[in-house]
A = this chain, B = another copy of it.
Amino acid sequence: MAQKPSIPKGTRDFSPAEVNRRNYIFDTIKKHFQVFGFQPIETPSFENSETLMGKYGDEGDRLIFKILESGEYLEKAKAKAVFIDKRGLTYLNDLLRGIFQRIRKDLREECSENFTGDEKFTNMKKVSKYLKNNIWSILNQSPEIAYLSHLEELIGSYFRYSSIQIAIKIVNRSSFFENDTAFQNFRLVEQREIQEDLLDRLEEHFLLNATTPQITSLISEKALRYDLTVPFARYVVMHQNEIDFPFKRYQIQPVWRADRPQKGRFREFYQCDADVVGANSLLQEVELIQLYDAVFTDLKLDGVHIKLNNRKVLAGIAEIIGAKQLLVDFTVALDKLDKIGEEGVKKEMLEKGISEKSIAKAAPLFSLSGDTGEQLSILKALLKDSEQGLEGIEELEFIIDMVEQLGLQSAQLSLDFTLARGLNYYTGTIFEVSPPEGVKMGSIGGGGRYDDLTGIFGLKDVSGVGISFGLDRIYLVLEELNLFPKTLEQFIQVLCLNFGEKEALASLKLISTLRNSGIKADLYPTGAKIQKQFKYANNRNVPYVILLGDKELVENAFVVKNMANGEQKTFSIDSIEDFIASL
């Protein structure tokens, strides 16, 4: 049965036209990355899970795509599950010993050697009941059991389930109560049986009752990369001896996130990152702003807003409003100044628990105006008592001053103290790029400085600063503003029509010459009706169609039809360069 094909939600096929447009953006970004001295690296699509897990918070961990181990992973997982639980085995033995001691001691009095049939039956039930109760009380007495709660459950349920069988065995071997040797033997045999049985059940139990993350760790060791930053940090640490620091790297590769797919949010998408590691100088920030400017200018996307903030300034503001944990609420509210006005913002801040006094203190932030210099002065006065805040101001001043002196081609640089992007991640500068005014679209780029990029992998005190370009959004903006070059729609420049075998051979010779000159040329593959061939040329936006029929073959010539205006011109095959020159 033929399948009706589809692709997983959140993923995309890219048609030739789309690939061309995407590559236009990629190539532009790449060109400037290189011109700015960044070097490309590539990392594997999947990393060891432990490289990625725990780096993006709980929510991030959930959104990481895990790859199933290949081969007979279930067998391996069961073996591993047993191994995991084997740490409980010694403890289990101790428990069993205790249980049997109690059975012996307490039952001795109640059971005697000679039973009648009725007594046997009654005793059996008594023993069964006794086991249930006592095993629980023994288990409950043990403090270590807490750390092995699933083992506890397991042993409990095992005995609950098996107690009748044990009872029958005890009743049948009533000599068990007679003397210590018999008891000892019974204990050894039973203990081994029970232990083996329990081991099987440990395995089953683990597989059936383990949490999803526990099971995942048993059946998956690899995961698709979630971003390019963590793999980059891993790369830097692994290759630290081959790298000449400062290391300016760029990386353009897909990442995968198990996010709920929605408009503009995909499960597979590209990230385009440029980072510098091992350089503390703020000149890096200056360069990265120039880089944004260069790329967007080249893409003809004039007037993007490069917004700038600094984590230290945010820390200073937090000091002023007197509560670090209210900083996010504060900036979220402040960000609405344009929409809901000063009163609205203050109201929201009060609702969020920021005191009137704090709000009054931070009041100058509500009336930040003028150019970046004036804004910085206001903030400087406000943060005069915050050492960290003033340090942030100083950094911003340096960057802005340098950028002003160097000049930008088409982008606008502005301060945005509400910019709290990656608050827990960045430690200095924070960047964000918005599309030109009038385009309804979130940020098309962002980045910042982080003091300790590689510490998680054991390489301390390596500062990094980087920016990222949001390919999918840039694509949508260029599309909306009709900024993709028309040439991207042209896949072939010249199509030779196919008039039959002999003519096709002559055409292929012609085409070879054109292709050797780097011209995208093609032959219609079959001798289909000429109308159909022309239609194909139209559909594919071919600007020139070559006609080399039997007449032309005799004359050693070819006719070129300009598809835009219908003009036809005849060239001699020997002077094909004239045609090439005319393109």
- Are B35's CB and A13's CB within 8 A? no
Alpha-carbon distance A224/B256, docked complex (angstroms):
12
Residue of B nearest to A36 (CB): B515
Can you identify 16 A-B contacts, CB atoms within 8 angstroms?
A3-B456, A5-B234, A8-B46, A8-B222, A31-B518, A45-B45, A62-B71, A66-B67, A74-B212, A117-B117, A164-B168, A244-B536, A279-B526, A283-B508, A283-B525, A405-B505
- Are A36's CB and B522's CB within 8 A? yes
- Do A284 and B525 contact each other (CB < 8 Å), given the known contacts A15-B41, A40-B20? yes
Alpha-carbon distance A117/B124, docked complex (angstroms):
12
- Are B249's CB and A16's CB within 8 A? yes
- Do A67 and B65 contact each other (CB < 8 Å), given the known contacts A23-B40, A44-B12, A280-B526? yes
- Are A515's CB and B35's CB within 8 A? yes
Apart from A2-B456, A68-B68, A207-B208, what are 13 other A-B pairs with CB-CB below 8 Å?
A3-B458, A4-B458, A8-B44, A39-B491, A45-B256, A72-B212, A164-B165, A204-B204, A219-B219, A280-B526, A294-B515, A406-B508, A406-B512
Alpha-carbon distance A34/B36, docked complex (angstroms):
28
Name the one of B65, B70, B458 contacting A258, with C-beta atoms under 8 angstroms.
Answer: B70
> CB of A504 within 8 A of chain B?
yes
- Do A74 and B116 contact each other (CB < 8 Å), given the known contacts A46-B11, A520-B34? no
> CB of A246 within 8 A of chain B?
yes
A residues 241-299 near B (Cβ < 8 Å) are: 242, 244, 246, 248-249, 254, 256, 258, 268, 276, 279-281, 283-284, 286-287, 290, 294
A366 to chain B, nearest CB (A): 35
- Are B68's CB and A67's CB within 8 A? yes
Most B C-beta atoms less than 10 A away, residue of A36, A164, A536: A36
A259 to chain B, nearest CB (A): 9
On chain B, the residues within 8 Å of A62 by CB distance are: 70-71
- Do A74 and B215 contact each other (CB < 8 Å), given the known contacts A117-B118, A406-B512, A539-B244? yes
> CB of A216 within 8 A of chain B?
yes
A residues 57-93 near B (Cβ < 8 Å) are: 62-63, 65-68, 70-75
- Are B521's CB and A35's CB within 8 A? yes
A289 to chain B, nearest CB (A): 11
A38 to chain B, nearest CB (A): 8
**Complex A-B, nearest 7 residue pairs according to Cβ-Cβ distance, in ascending order:** A117-B118, A117-B117, A37-B522, A2-B458, A11-B44, A16-B39, A70-B258
- Are A244's CB and B120's CB within 8 A? no
> CB of A239 within 8 A of chain B?
yes
> CB of A47 within 8 A of chain B?
yes
Alpha-carbon distance A207/B218, docked complex (angstroms):
15
On chain B, the residues within 8 Å of A237 by CB distance are: 5
- Do A504 and B283 contact each other (CB < 8 Å), given the known contacts A6-B48, A42-B13, A65-B67? yes
> CB of A492 within 8 A of chain B?
yes
Q: Indicate with 1 or 0, residue by residue over A11-55, a CB within 8 angstroms of chain B CB atoms.
A: 111111001100100000001101111011111111110110000
Alpha-carbon distance A406/B504, docked complex (angstroms):
11
- Do A518 and B35 contact each other (CB < 8 Å), given the known contacts A2-B457, A208-B207, A238-B5? yes
On chain B, the residues within 8 Å of A523 by CB distance are: 283, 287
A residues 406-429 near B (Cβ < 8 Å) are: 406-407
- Are A13's CB and B44's CB within 8 A? yes
- Are B15's CB and A242's CB within 8 A? yes
A381 to chain B, nearest CB (A): 26
On chain B, the residues within 8 Å of A402 by CB distance are: 505, 508
Residue of B nearest to A519 (CB): B35
